[in-house]
């Protein structure tokens, strides 16, 4: 049947900010859905609070709202736009829960809005664990023995029937949030308490444990007529007990017999039908007992998911696009497959003749005292995907893709194999897995542990273990025979087929990577390239979605086009380098294609828009390493490579690429080094007669002590060539400095010690320079003072607290620095203003994480303009002369992942820890910031008790805020020092005991949810440690809190303002610029 004509406008709900458990896969699926529906002629109304996404670009939907995904706000947009339907299946759990809120509050019925792609009943059937269990049992399938509970009493009764260990799973959450594995009653109570707080319907399911069972997923697409196809089977290498988002996964499944596969396939199709999914993508998860083969159904997601993105990239089948088309009435047989040049219909199940591996990316090093053991609660911040013709090739390429300084099965425990302590460490890592378990398995094999013994500890299937064992046996052979082993071309070629990278071979043989590459070139050993085509080459395809392998026939077929440019992608998402950089890469590809360039994207992240098959002229799904880039350059022969947009890894490769004769487009590696190298940058600043905070570069601890004595404490310690504030720390005394050096000098040869600027205003500037002129995109004032990483601080446009004279001087200094460094393209500069003196913090000669935010504020795509400048266009020719001064206020706020980890202190510092961001827009700063609060999913009541405990420096600043709060009807409680200070000004404040004082104290009151808001500012390590439980408990009990005085000021002026919230589309705001 043709598409529906009874609906003309569709609202698409996004997923909001990037968080652990809900990442940029929803930008990919949402963008794909928007394009699919727009080409069908529907009016699209997009709502998403995340400014860093491609989907919130103003040209993706007809009307774009960067607003909180909150049912109250969505109702306002519905009243204004009057959509006929809502598509919520592209926005993860956030969108589904919002639709349920709209349903419960009768909004859908009131405005006669239809939910397309799924239904309210299907969401309840899949997401409500009790409903889902009944459906599965009715179908005759096995499901874990479980009990639903709604309070702690029910939980305690339930545990008498389900013994430890048990699995706790909240309903209506994502990424395992609020869940976990309990081995005893204490753990059980803690997890249940947290889970009940997070569950949308206040329900938990207590499951029997299936720890150690094998885990599988089936990606399914269904149309309204009941036609269903399996897109891909996915097998977890890690057994049950580890969240699938934290597991290494393989597609297609490797250890299923055909009979087992068919049983799972049929079960998946039956389940999505019984749940009531109207149409679109879904995934079903299964567990299989490795002893007797018993099959259990675990769960179903009635929407596109993280696994859908992986399955799409693994097979080439555009699940989100097809799902969007199915939601408007098409059937699978009516739609064609772009990848096969429309030779096949979408009803044709994909077939693949290669192995895909996904490995998650973790950032445990960003969090002190974190529990880094993997459980059913997801903890990874990103992922990579690799493609190879064998499992061994695929997994070794995957390890290379992680950008962790590993290039295969690099040993963790080196030359200590006879040490009993290290043997015990290996056993512990096998039994209680962390992020490096796959490499500890290799280490276990290096000490001759049998695969049977490894299986007993890890429960990883013997087939995978035998494959890894074969790699380790080969490594031992290489080491024993030496480099002469590689002089046999046949053996060398076989090693490359196994997935050994040049640098891994170099590390085994203790020679340079260049030596291995030279030898490989001597024997003319190069990869060939194969296409991802959904059909195992059964039909011809012109789509250039390509991966490398070592074989005979090459399918790359590079063109003779002289105007080719390679764009290096940003690799896996991680803290400090997120979706913002992928956004810039996509924009670069778009504008270059518009200007008749052939674009070649190299990236390995399956979640992103940049790795969609139609974004670039050619996509190479490869690790972003020197070896892979040089091989692609060898066959493609591009004009050059763009390294500025992919974050720190491409930037770090720039000099090596240039040494190999590669043309770096835009800012040169020489200029990059001037900005990134602390010593060279220091000289530039002096030459221009500008100011930096007083600082010294030191290379050892003795030198550090001497220079610290001159500067005076506190200090900020900063290394060179890092992103996201890695290894940055505030040091308050000599002991702190000593500890810092002991921990960090192994990573860096020199450290910048910089005087900490107390109570300084931090400023971010995004600009474009063409080596002669400069265009200032935006000057952002930070809410948090200097000392908090810019990625974790809220910032806003226009500035509020800077005089015009200071702003003019910032612009002048930006121009001086950009031209002196010889920037060609984007530049980001961070300043600090103290007592009207401007200090330069650092210059980033690349795309920054604020580029998408600024671009959406001023309606100028800075990444696109920067790309045009990089290929030779001048700012004058692009008619970019005057800055844009918006009449509205825009705030960007960081989203922090503290709630995903147990007992982590959520205090901010110089090292970045946020995973994503939200944006608030209003006619006033207060309105914009209030929307930020709504987007963070906290709710601050208009009445109640507020707890205040602030450091001495902040006490004067809190007086006016407390007066405002009391005037608005809030009751104020404070710890002794803060309370006594406020009482001197005749303010009604009740004294409560500190966390370290006798009970009842603030900790008891927080646990009892006495407070509606908490302000807690501290400095120095002792005070931070003494008050950490205040912040941890506030987070656990879902109480809004501020850990900086400026954050408190912004919050209080927002919540005490009686404005009426309005909603604005980007398009209507941009008309006023």
- Given this model, what pLDDT does residue 722 score? 58
121-130, 170-179, 307-316, 701-710: least confidently modelled range: 170-179
Q: What is the pLDDT of residues 416-474, one digit of tens each?
A: 556 677 888 999 999 999 999 999 999 999 999 999 999 999 999 999 999 999 999 99
| pTM to 2 decimal places | 0.95
Mean pLDDT calculated for residue range 529-549: 84
pLDDT band at 22 (very low <50, low <70, confident <90, very high): confident
CATH 1.10.1030.10 fits 409-460, yes or no: yes
> Do the domains 409-460 and 675-895 sit in the same CATH topology, yes or no?
no
pLDDT band at 747 (very low <50, low <70, confident <90, very high): low
State which H helix or E strand residue 115 sits in.
strand 114-116
d(CA 535, CA 316): 9
Is the confidence at residue 122, as pLDDT, over 90?
A: yes
- Given this model, what pLDDT does residue 554 score? 94
- Given this model, what pLDDT does residue 608 score? 95
Mean pLDDT calculated for residue range 584-606: 98
pLDDT band at 721 (very low <50, low <70, confident <90, very high): low
- CB atoms < 10 A from the CB of 560, how many? 6
Is the confidence at residue 1057, as pLDDT, over 90?
A: no
Contacts from 1064-1070 at CB under 8 Å and sequence distance 24+? Answer: 1064/65, 1064/67, 1064/888, 1064/921, 1064/922, 1065/63, 1065/64, 1065/65, 1066/56, 1066/58, 1066/64, 1066/65, 1066/66, 1066/856, 1066/859, 1067/58, 1067/62, 1067/63, 1067/64, 1069/886, 1069/888, 1069/921, 1070/58, 1070/859
User: What residues are paired with 844 via a beta bridge?
Assistant: 828
pLDDT band at 1 (very low <50, low <70, confident <90, very high): low
The class (CATH top level) of 9-116 is alpha beta
Q: Look-up: residue for tokens 């941890």?
A: 1032
Is the confidence at residue 633, as pLDDT, over 60?
A: yes
pLDDT band at 736 (very low <50, low <70, confident <90, very high): confident
Phi, psi of 717 (to 5 degrees): -100, 130
188-192, 449-453, 586-590: least confidently modelled range: 188-192
d(CA 751, CA 727): 10
CA distances for 955 relative to 171, 451, 981, 994, 1041, angstroms:
43, 62, 7, 17, 17
Contact (Cβ atoms closer than 8 angstroms) between residue 609 and residue 578: no
Every domain of the chain and the residues it spans:
9-116, 145-209, 409-460, 675-895, 919-1055
Is the confidence at residue 695, as pLDDT, over 90?
A: no
pLDDT band at 337 (very low <50, low <70, confident <90, very high): confident
Contact (Cβ atoms closer than 8 angstroms) between residue 55 and residue 46: yes
Mean pLDDT calculated for residue range 69-90: 97
- Given this model, what pLDDT does residue 745 score? 67
Is the confidence at residue 594, as pLDDT, over 80?
A: yes
Is the confidence at residue 7, as pLDDT, over 60?
A: yes
Is the confidence at residue 580, as pLDDT, over 60?
A: yes
- Report the candidate in 920, 908, 768, 755 with the shortest Cα–Cα distance to residue 367: 908
pLDDT band at 903 (very low <50, low <70, confident <90, very high): confident
Residue 558 structure tokens: 């590079």
Is the confidence at residue 866, as pLDDT, over 70?
A: yes
Is the confidence at residue 724, as pLDDT, over 60?
A: no
Contact (Cβ atoms closer than 8 angstroms) between residue 606 and residue 309: yes
pLDDT band at 646 (very low <50, low <70, confident <90, very high): very high
- Given this model, what pLDDT does residue 617 score? 96
pLDDT band at 902 (very low <50, low <70, confident <90, very high): confident
- CATH code linked to domain 675-895: 3.30.470.20
- Given this model, what pLDDT does residue 120 score? 95
pLDDT band at 89 (very low <50, low <70, confident <90, very high): very high
Mean pLDDT calculated for residue range 10-20: 95
Is the confidence at residue 541, as pLDDT, over 80?
A: no
Contact (Cβ atoms closer than 8 angstroms) between residue 763 and residue 833: yes
Contact (Cβ atoms closer than 8 angstroms) between residue 526 and residue 634: yes
- Report the candidate in 636, 666, 639 with the shortest Cα–Cα distance to residue 651: 666
The helices-and-strands tally (H runs, E runs) of the chain is 36, 38
Contact (Cβ atoms closer than 8 angstroms) between residue 962 and residue 955: no
Mean pLDDT, rounded, of the chain: 92
pLDDT band at 174 (very low <50, low <70, confident <90, very high): low
The class (CATH top level) of 919-1055 is alpha beta
- Given this model, what pLDDT does residue 128 score? 85
- Given this model, what pLDDT does residue 852 score? 97
* CA count, 13 A, side-chain hemisphere, 389: 16
Rounded to 10 degrees, the C-alpha dihedral 667/668/670/674 comes to 10
Is the confidence at residue 562, as pLDDT, over 60?
A: yes
d(CA 1017, CA 1027): 9
- Report the candidate in 305, 288, 282 with the shortest Cα–Cα distance to residue 231: 282
- Given this model, what pLDDT does residue 720 score? 65
Architecture of domain 145-209: 2-Layer Sandwich (3.30)
Answer left, alpha or beta for residue 144, where phi above 0 means left and psi between -120 and 50 means alpha. beta
382-386, 785-789, 861-865: least confidently modelled range: 785-789
4: exposed, middle or buried (C-beta count within 10 Å: 0-12, 13-18, 19+)? middle
C-alpha triplet 481, 485, 488: angle, nearest 5°: 155
- Given this model, what pLDDT does residue 305 score? 86
**Of all residues in the chain, what percent carry a pLDDT higher than 70?**
98
Q: What is the pLDDT of residues 753-796, one digit of tens each?
A: 989 898 899 999 999 999 999 999 999 999 998 888 889 999 99
């Amino acid at each position: 049947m043709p598409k529906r004509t009874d609906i003309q406008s569709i609202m698409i709900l996004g997923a909001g900010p990037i968080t652990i458990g809900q990442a940029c896969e929803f930008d990919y699926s949402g963008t794909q859905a928007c394009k699919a529906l727009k080409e069908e002629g529907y009016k699209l109304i997009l709502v998403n609070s995340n400014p860093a996404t491609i989907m919130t670009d103003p040209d993706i939907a007809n009307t774009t709202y960067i607003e909180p995904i909150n049912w109250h706000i969505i109702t306002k947009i519905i009243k204004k736009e009057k959509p006929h339907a809502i598509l919520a299946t592209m926005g993860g759990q956030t969108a589904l829960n919002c639709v349920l809120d709209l349903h419960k509050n009768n909004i859908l019925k009131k405005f006669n809005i239809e939910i397309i792609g799924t239904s309210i009943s299907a969401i309840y059937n899949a997401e409500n664990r009790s409903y889902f269990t009944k459906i599965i049992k009715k179908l005759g399938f096995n499901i874990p023995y479980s009990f639903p509970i709604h309070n702690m009493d029910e939980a305690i009764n339930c545990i008498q029937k389900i013994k430890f260990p048990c699995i706790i799973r909240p309903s209506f959450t994502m990424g395992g949030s609020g869940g976990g594995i309990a081995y005893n009653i204490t753990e059980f109570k803690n997890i249940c308490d947290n889970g009940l707080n997070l569950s949308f319907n206040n329900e938990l399911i207590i499951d029997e444990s299936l720890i150690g069972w094998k885990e599988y997923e089936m990606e399914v697409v269904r149309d309204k007529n009941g036609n269903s196809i399996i897109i891909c089977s996915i097998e977890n290498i890690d057994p049950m007990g580890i969240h699938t988002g934290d597991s290494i996964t393989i597609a297609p499944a490797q250890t299923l017999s055909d009979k087992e596969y068919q049983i799972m396939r049929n079960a998946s199709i039956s389940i999505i039908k019984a749940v009531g999914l109207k149409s679109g993508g879904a995934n079903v998860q299964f567990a299989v007992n490795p002893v007797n083969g018993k099959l259990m159904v675990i769960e179903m997601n009635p929407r596109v998911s993280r696994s859908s993105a992986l399955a799409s990239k693994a097979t080439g089948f555009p699940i989100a696009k097809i799902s969007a088309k199915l939601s408007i009435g098409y059937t699978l047989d009516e739609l064609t497959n772009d990848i096969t040049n429309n030779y096949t219909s979408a009803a044709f199940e994909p077939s693949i003749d290669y192995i895909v591996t996904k490995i998650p990316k973790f950032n445990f090093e960003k969090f002190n005292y974190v529990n880094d053991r993997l459980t059913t609660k997801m903890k990874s911040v990103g992922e990579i995907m690799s493609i190879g013709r064998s499992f061994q090739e695929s997994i070794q390429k995957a390890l290379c893709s992680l950008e962790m300084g590993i290039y295969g099965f690099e040993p963790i425990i080196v030359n200590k194999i006879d040490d009993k302590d290290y043997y015990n460490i290996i056993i512990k890592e096998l039994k209680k897995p962390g992020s490096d378990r796959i490499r500890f398995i290799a280490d276990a094999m290096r000490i001759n542990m049998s695969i049977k013994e490894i299986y007993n500890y890890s429960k990883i299937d013997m087939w995978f273990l035998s494959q890894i064992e074969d790699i380790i046996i080969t490594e031992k052979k290489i080491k024993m025979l030496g480099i002469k082993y590689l002089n046999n071309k046949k053996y060398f070629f076989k090693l490359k087929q196994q997935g050994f990278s040049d640098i891994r071979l170099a590390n085994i043989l203790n020679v340079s990577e260049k030596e291995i590459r030279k030898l490989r070139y001597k024997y003319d050993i190069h990869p060939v390239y194969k296409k991802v085509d959904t059909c195992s080459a059964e039909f011809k395809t012109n789509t250039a979605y390509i991966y490398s392998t070592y074989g005979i026939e090459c399918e790359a077929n590079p063109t003779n086009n002289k105007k080719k440019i390679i764009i290096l992608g940003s690799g896996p998402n991680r803290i400090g380098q997120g979706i913002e950089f992928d956004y810039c890469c996509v924009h670069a590809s778009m504008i270059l294609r518009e200007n008749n360039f052939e674009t070649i994207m190299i990236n390995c992240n399956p979640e992103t828009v940049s790795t969609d098959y139609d974004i670039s002229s050619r996509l190479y799904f490869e690790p972003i390493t020197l070896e892979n880039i040089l091989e692609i350059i060898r066959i493609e022969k591009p004009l050059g490579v763009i390294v500025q947009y992919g974050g720190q890894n491409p930037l770090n490769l720039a000099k090596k690429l240039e040494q190999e004769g590669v043309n770096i487009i835009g800012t040169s590696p020489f200029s990059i080094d001037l900005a990134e190298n602390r010593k060279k940058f220091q000289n530039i600043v002096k030459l221009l007669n500008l100011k930096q905070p007083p600082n010294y570069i030191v290379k050892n601890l003795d030198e550090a002590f001497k220079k610290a004595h001159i500067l005076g404490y506190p200090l900020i310690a900063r290394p060179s060539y890092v992103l996201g504030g890695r290894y940055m720390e505030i040091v308050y005394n000599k002991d702190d400095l000593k500890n810092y050096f002991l921990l960090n000098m192994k990573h860096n040869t020199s450290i910048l010690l910089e005087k900490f600027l107390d109570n300084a205003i931090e400023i971010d500037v995004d600009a474009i320079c063409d080596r002669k002129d400069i265009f200032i995109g935006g000057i952002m004032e930070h809410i948090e003072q200097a000392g908090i990483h810019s990625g974790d601080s809220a910032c806003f446009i226009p500035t509020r607290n800077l005089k015009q004279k200071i702003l003019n001087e910032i612009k002048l200094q930006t121009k001086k620095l950009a031209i002196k460094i010889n920037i060609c393209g984007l530049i980001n500069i961070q300043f600090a203003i103290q007592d009207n003196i401007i200090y330069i913090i650092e210059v980033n000669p690349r795309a920054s994480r604020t580029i998408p935010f600024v671009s959406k504020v001023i309606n100028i795509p800075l990444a696109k303009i920067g790309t045009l400048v990089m290929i030779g266009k001048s700012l004058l020719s692009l008619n970019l002369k005057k800055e844009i001064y918006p009449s509205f206020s825009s705030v960007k706020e960081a989203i922090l992942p503290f709630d995903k980890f147990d007992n982590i202190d959520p205090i901010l510092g110089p090292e970045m820890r946020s995973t994503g961001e939200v944006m608030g827009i209003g006619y006033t700063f207060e309105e914009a910031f209030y929307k930020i609060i709504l987007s963070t999913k906290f709710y601050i009541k208009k009445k109640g008790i507020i707890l205040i405990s602030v450091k001495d420096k902040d006490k004067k600043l809190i007086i006016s805020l407390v007066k405002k709060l009391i005037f608005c009807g809030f009751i104020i409680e404070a710890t002794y020092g803060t309370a006594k200070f406020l009482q001197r000004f005749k303010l009604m404040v009740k004294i409560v005991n500190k966390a370290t004082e006798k009970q009842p104290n603030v900790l008891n009151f927080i646990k009892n949810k006495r407070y509606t808001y908490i302000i807690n500012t501290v400095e120095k390590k002792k005070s931070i440690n003494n008050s950490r439980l205040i912040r941890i408990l506030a987070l656990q009990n879902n109480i809004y809190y501020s850990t900086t005085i400026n954050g408190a000021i912004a919050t209080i002026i927002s919540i005490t303002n009686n404005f009426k919230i309005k909603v604005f589309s980007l398009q209507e705001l941009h008309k006023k610029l």
